[in-house]
Structure 1
């Protein structure tokens, strides 16, 4: 066990008494990493891609950081990289479609996943009685794929090891027509970069925030060799990490340690694995920036909505330190010449300006529909509303109600029909596609009770603060540049495969929506 993991377990065991603990920027490992070696010309090519999502990191945040922290780890990557200041997430910006954009090259339209809280017209709810091998009653079920799937929230690993989805309780899963549990990865209708790499005989590894990120395994369920998913919402310390800006670095450090260990060819705990080697694609996410941006106090930004305030600055420093640690271990392993880094974000958070924040009750939209005699099967809200109707014939009536009351409901645009199908698919043919998605008035966030809520922002929506995210690609020998063309985060997927010399046209979602790798790189 590494020194870092041991330290983290001791901190977790200490509980709330260490609420102000901050992770040191460069904790060493007990094991001795393999010695660096010189790379031959034949080896001086991309053999591994480290894919990192700094969740919540806006394009403007990265620009500010590179300008004001020229000696930082991210700035060092930019010295041999391409920065894309006009990078956007296509469509819905929940974490699920956000990560799948990076991994499939598509939007919800193609991969079939909309949110971690969504709806299916073709599945049955957990616990539905079965008559033989068939579920009773009609299909139609809210799909909640978050910490509620864990065996045990009091265990930081979700009740099992937290590896390859083993902490998911099948009893918490929806059922298919044969009364079998449906795992998150089974929702996908498109393959992933992990599956393409696996089909070429390469290894893969990933770390994310819930066991429910079994999602990234892809339709095969076998895309990631080692998927490490410690539970961010564990109540092990009394309150989960997402409520404490000063505790979230401890959680992110678990991800940093796993990724650093993979960079050395070890398992996520830093143990040598026979026949493993360094994965071709590995990485994960960091939550510190996103958590800080969503907390009401202290504010993440100064009044201009651009300059990081103290809390966000601390989060950026923590995450930059983690990126630096990973890069250092890549270097120690002698693999800097053959390793590319992609640093981006699944989503942003909105609003950045505290003065723009407008919390609205999440009952407004469903109540307005119900009062008009319209039955929503499910309404999912954060900085967006996704609406599934019980009766699709009520679509026009629902649109009329929402448009007539748009300002009071916090709605800037009601999206349905062909406009919605451009990024969210067709509810007439997809059992999980919503009938309506709304673009909110900038600053609107739907919450349970605005008078008692401490939220300062969220994501999921279609406005710039949700969609306009950081993107940096770095590799040895790359001439530093800034590409100002508008690009989409889904272009990361074909870029990763092209860097590795793999066929990016094998990505089904990417081919459906257009499969251009990012411009400006020396492939």
Structure 2
């Protein structure tokens, strides 16, 4: 319960009410329908023409503080010196890559964005094969590496671009106004994105992004389907022809994958598209995701992965990954300077999520006792016989998963969509009767563990009765991973402290407030309205910002920064 109260405290300190937004309109502090602020306002920094957003996945605030203090990330330190370093930034309740990135680019939590995990469930959807929407509803949605056509029928992921198209077996259907329609990732997100807003309201704007899955991240386009002009299609789980393995086997191999993204950014800075082949305007809003640090953090301590102690002292792999990321940042900044763009480019460095546990002494690999407990009590079919766990081929996203089964998604958190929602009270009673760490216990008996359901989950994440929100969220003790895997010692997805407390540096060259450290509690949802403020656009053009009352980051709340 302490963890819930801490989260609510953060929400209260940063949440703006709808009434306050209305007051700003009435006072003339918010521009009119054109979407752009009047140019007569005098800014305390150079006019921002470009915003570059970088997600160093896994980057904790403690990593930033330690590497700046030890001078092991000189390029990031220079950005912090020229900008603002937010030391108390958190994800909005869940820390998987989907909700983590959605926070940064929509200004919303899963409640308004509708993204809980890259593998989730929606009670309103029909199977990919049900093109008439005549069968049962309730589909286990999988928008990951198998969303590309290479993954069709469980095929090998042989192409860096995921095969160049969507896997039709990965695309469920929805009945919309009596018409059965496919639900691509951009249809799945429930709110618009900064890319859409910038394209629509900024004259001659261009947008670009690169991420780890070639087709699953199509949702960045937003409901319009066209928010990102240049969405680089790169798949981290594809097979590298040189090694015959994917790019996640060891962090130095992941560096090769992340270098594709660095090359894309440099090409875009140089006035070309992400491939470097076609001429294009330098994007108004662009950025990418880096996976090297995340892979190094997950690697077992026995192999040099993770951290050495509770003080975030990096092990050899994490130290190497941070050095790589800082070098990559230096290369990008150098290119901006060479092209005369540095003084007009705001740079935001943060992360979709952290990683847990950094203190290896807290690690508990509990196995998936949560699913086993639910199966044993007949709340789910036994032996994982539900959703996409029960495909004909045994591979995810081959289109033959079971419909209307409910599901569990677990890493260091447990998201539970019940097969029968009328069993909620019985399920919660069963979970609360098995909170200990001895099997079949779910290891959620500590002061920072909690079980969300009913009105609490509806208030924070939306009403489960509408189909998308889990019926129950189980946050186990910090350090618990619902896995027996011997290949990783850290994970993410939940709301453990190491998952959610992230680094966040915003650099605006020429700003008078350069070099400030901001200790106020903030959420990563505040990045999106800040991006729009930097580009002289109204934050409320983002639907999630308007609905959730998300403020820009401290120092960027008003027109005069």
Q: Structure 2 length as normaliser, TM-score?
A: 0.80
- Matching of residues 503-522 of structure 1 within 5 Å: 503-521=538-556
Which residue in 2 is equivalent to 1:66? 68
Which residue in 1 is equivalent to 2:282? 278
Q: 1:239 to 1:179 in 2, by over 3 A?
A: farther
Q: Deviations over 1:429-468 (max 9, x none)?
A: 3x21110111111111112xx2x52111110011110100
Q: 1:246 to 1:70 in 2, by over 3 A?
A: closer
Is the CA contact (8 Å cut-off) linking 2:46 and 2:510 kept in structure 1?
A: no
**Pick aligned residue for 1:471 from 481, 499, 504:** 504
- Tell me the secondary structure at the aligned position of residue 414 of structure 1: strand
Structure 2: runs of 5 or more not aligned: 1-42, 151-156, 381-404
Take 1:292 and 1:67, find their aligned partners in 2: how far apart are those partners?
A: 21
Which residue in 2 is equivalent to 1:249? 255
Which residue in 1 is equivalent to 2:210? 207
Take 1:279 and 1:248, find their aligned partners in 2: how far apart are those partners?
A: 26
1:303 to 2:309 alignment: yes
Take 2:125 and 2:235, find their aligned partners in 1: how far apart are those partners?
A: 26
Which residue in 2 is equivalent to 1:502? 537
- Matching of residues 16-415 of structure 1 within 5 Å: 44-69=46-71, 72-128=74-130, 130=131, 134-152=132-150, 153-160=157-164, 167-177=165-175, 178-200=179-201, 201=203, 202-211=205-214, 212-236=216-240, 237-273=243-279, 276-296=280-300, 297-362=303-368, 364-375=369-380, 377-407=406-436, 408-411=441-444, 412-415=449-452
- Tell me the secondary structure at the aligned position of residue 246 of structure 1: helix
Take 1:371 and 1:42, find their aligned partners in 2: how far apart are those partners?
A: 62
Aligned residues between the structures? 466
Take 1:217 and 1:71, find their aligned partners in 2: how far apart are those partners?
A: 32
Task: State the Cα distance separating 1:421 from its structure 2 match.
Answer: 2.2
Which residue in 2 is equivalent to 1:427? 464
| Comparing 196-205 and 47-56, the one that deviates more | 196-205
| Comparing 98-107 and 403-412, the one that deviates more | 403-412
Which residue in 2 is equivalent to 1:23? none
Task: State the Cα distance separating 1:418 from its structure 2 match.
Answer: 2.3
Q: 1:440 to 1:219 in 2, by over 3 A?
A: same
Which residue in 1 is equivalent to 2:27? none
Is the CA contact (8 Å cut-off) linking 2:407 and 2:418 kept in structure 1?
A: yes
Task: State the Cα distance separating 1:159 from its structure 2 match.
Answer: 1.3
Is the CA contact (8 Å cut-off) linking 1:52 and 1:342 kept in structure 2?
A: yes
Is the CA contact (8 Å cut-off) linking 1:344 and 1:472 kept in structure 2?
A: yes
CA RMSD in angstroms comes to 1.8
Which residue in 2 is equivalent to 1:163? none
Which residue in 2 is equivalent to 1:8? none
Is the CA contact (8 Å cut-off) linking 1:97 and 1:115 kept in structure 2?
A: yes
1:458 to 2:491 alignment: yes
Runs of 4+ in 1 over 6 A off after TM superposition: none
Q: Deviations over 1:474-512 (max 9, x none)?
A: 011122110000000000000000001011111111121
1:482 to 2:517 alignment: yes
- Tell me the secondary structure at the aligned position of residue 78 of structure 1: helix
Take 2:324 and 2:158, find their aligned partners in 1: how far apart are those partners?
A: 26
Task: State the Cα distance separating 1:171 from its structure 2 match.
Answer: 3.0
- Tell me the secondary structure at the aligned position of residue 135 of structure 1: coil
- Tell me the secondary structure at the aligned position of residue 176 of structure 1: strand
Q: Deviations over 1:391-440 (max 9, x none)?
A: 211111111111110122122211112221233211123x2111011111
Is the CA contact (8 Å cut-off) linking 1:299 and 1:354 kept in structure 2?
A: no
Q: Deviations over 1:179-229 (max 9, x none)?
A: 543111111111111111011231110000102110111111111000003
Take 2:307 and 2:133, find their aligned partners in 1: how far apart are those partners?
A: 50
Is the CA contact (8 Å cut-off) linking 1:170 and 1:181 kept in structure 2?
A: no
Is the CA contact (8 Å cut-off) linking 2:370 and 2:482 kept in structure 1?
A: no
**Pick aligned residue for 1:441 from 474, 477, 502:** 477
Take 2:469 and 2:499, find their aligned partners in 1: how far apart are those partners?
A: 20
Take 1:293 and 1:42, find their aligned partners in 2: how far apart are those partners?
A: 39
Is the CA contact (8 Å cut-off) linking 2:45 and 2:510 kept in structure 1?
A: no
Q: 1:346 to 1:168 in 2, by over 3 A?
A: same
Structure 1: runs of 5 or more not aligned: 1-40, 161-166
Task: State the Cα distance separating 1:333 from its structure 2 match.
Answer: 1.2
